[in-house]
Structure 1
Amino acid sequence: MCVEQARLLLLLLTASGWRCVSGIRVFTAGDVKAVNGTDVRLKCTFQTSAAVRASSVTVSWSFRPLGPGHEETVFYYHEKPFAPPEGRFRRKVDWAGDISGRDASVVLRRVPFSFNGTFSCQVKNPPDVHGNVGEVRLQVVSSASLSEILVLCVTIGGAVLLVLLLVMIVASLRRCQRPRNPEPDLQNDLFSC
């Protein structure tokens, strides 16, 4: 009898529109490097089983510094972006997300070394309010690493060599196609008058 009651209850809940809600899943880049004084995008995307409506989704970004210090609010979004009115992130963070595209990213402007630390992205979309918090560990460096510079040089050098090789091939083909000693065709010249 208990099995039949459980089935009936499940059938009634399903018919009433009730459904199981799984937790929201948040995805971030993990480790990110940025050169001091440049802008950097902190990517945060999410998956939810509930319908995404701009009026229901909230996004919270917070920051925990590497050294001593307390956690700070970086950014908040609910129907529109709310940048912090004071603190180290005042006028330093802009909304770069798109809720309908399940994107909750932000851009940090002109990052200083004091931004070294962990940024956390939390997204809620009721009834999906439980789930993981995405983290981005930002490392602000004084200049691009040697490997990044090397990759850039190899890429540019390879492109230049490719263009030079193509020009040499085209020039060689044109030179080979030209007649070497064109002899005047006297017969055709006589009849052309």
Structure 2
Amino acid sequence: MAARVGAGAGAGAGRAAPWTCALLALGFVTTGVAALEVYTPKEIFVANGTQGKLSCKFKSTNMTGTLTSVTWSFQPQGTDTSVSFFHYSQGQVYLGNYAPFKGRISWAGDLNKKDASIYIENMQFTHNGTYICDVKNPPDIVAQPGHIRLYVVERENLPVFPVWVVVGIVSAVVLGLTLLIGLVLLVLHRRRNFKRDYTGCSTSEGLTPVKQAPRKGPSDTEGLVKTLSTGSHQGPIIYAQLEHSGGHCSDKINKAESVVYADIRKN
């Protein structure tokens, strides 16, 4: 009887083995597909006695929820061991018993924005060391934690500009100069093409020869009007000279020339 039970159990275990293997394989596949990445600055400087913010961002293929958690650990300078001093889960803050951080830690992140940052108040030289940000967002639980090397220094020893600020300023200046030079070259190129394509006109091109009337004095004008008055169907006579000064085309009437209007009425 015992042999039968053992055989049955063995058979049941044999039948269950394929399902177990399948589930394990599925678990491995899920773990391989899931991805969680943590981003932190490599190093920061904080003035002694001031507040420091430890920035930690993360990227996950899954939505954050009640199972998402954040753990901060501290590795003192000159040691190889780390101590967990802060935990955040389901909207609750859990502080460790590590004396250097009692009453100094506060939550500064927002899991909906993939932010797991914290504040540390009144930082002292004893806080020099490496800070580790570890985020879990099931099923994304396997990730390389972020490490920050923190330096607490006197205020006068703070770097004037962090390296990333200097790099950003230099990059912005180079980009701005490149765009400005490109714009200037574009304007010059367009002007050069415009001058080359524009031929203009001269006084000898596109003009119909017009015979100018000689200048008439007051007496001549009166005589001309009288003479024309005796005609029958003569229309108005207009003397005008077109300007061609400066080599430019113009249809302006030269105001310096005499203009005679004669209204000839039929006798």
Q: Same fold (TM over 0.5)?
A: yes
Matched, 1:117 2:112: no
Matched, 1:78 2:89: yes
Give 1:73 deviation, angstroms.
1.3
Matched, 1:62 2:87: no
- AA paired with 1:46? F
Whether the 8 Å contact between 2:54 and 2:118 is mirrored in structure 1 is yes
Per-residue CA distance 1:99-153 (angstroms, 9 max, x = gap): 111100000100000000000000000000001110111000012337529xxxx
Whether the 8 Å contact between 1:83 and 1:94 is mirrored in structure 2 is no
Q: Secondary structure at the match of 2:39?
A: strand
Distance 1:60 1:37 in 2: 24
Matched, 1:102 2:101: no
Q: Which has the higher contact order (CA 8 A, sep 6+)?
A: 1
* Aligned pairs for 1:173-192 within 5 A: none
Distance 2:42 2:31 in 1: 32
Give 1:56 deviation, angstroms.
1.0
Q: Which among 145, 163, 169 is matched to residue 157 of structure 2?
A: 145
Q: Based on CA coordinates, which of the two structures has the bigger radius of gyration?
A: 2
Paired position in structure 2 for 1:133? 145
Structure richer in strand, relative to its length: 1
Whether the 8 Å contact between 1:83 and 1:91 is mirrored in structure 2 is no
Deviates more, 1:78-87 or 1:140-149: 140-149
Matched, 1:28 2:40: yes
Distance 1:129 1:33 in 2: 30
Q: What is the TM-score of this pair, normalised by structure 2?
A: 0.46
Identical-pair percentage: 32
- AA paired with 1:77? Y
Q: 1:111 to 1:146 in 2, by over 3 A?
A: closer
**Aligned residue pairs, count:** 133
Which sections of structure 1, spanning at least 5 residues, go unmatched?
Answer: 1-8, 150-193
Q: 1:147 to 1:110 in 2, by over 3 A?
A: closer
Distance 1:20 1:117 in 2: 33
Q: 1:120 to 1:147 in 2, by over 3 A?
A: closer
Paired position in structure 2 for 1:178? none
Distance 2:102 2:124 in 1: 13
Distance 2:52 2:103 in 1: 14
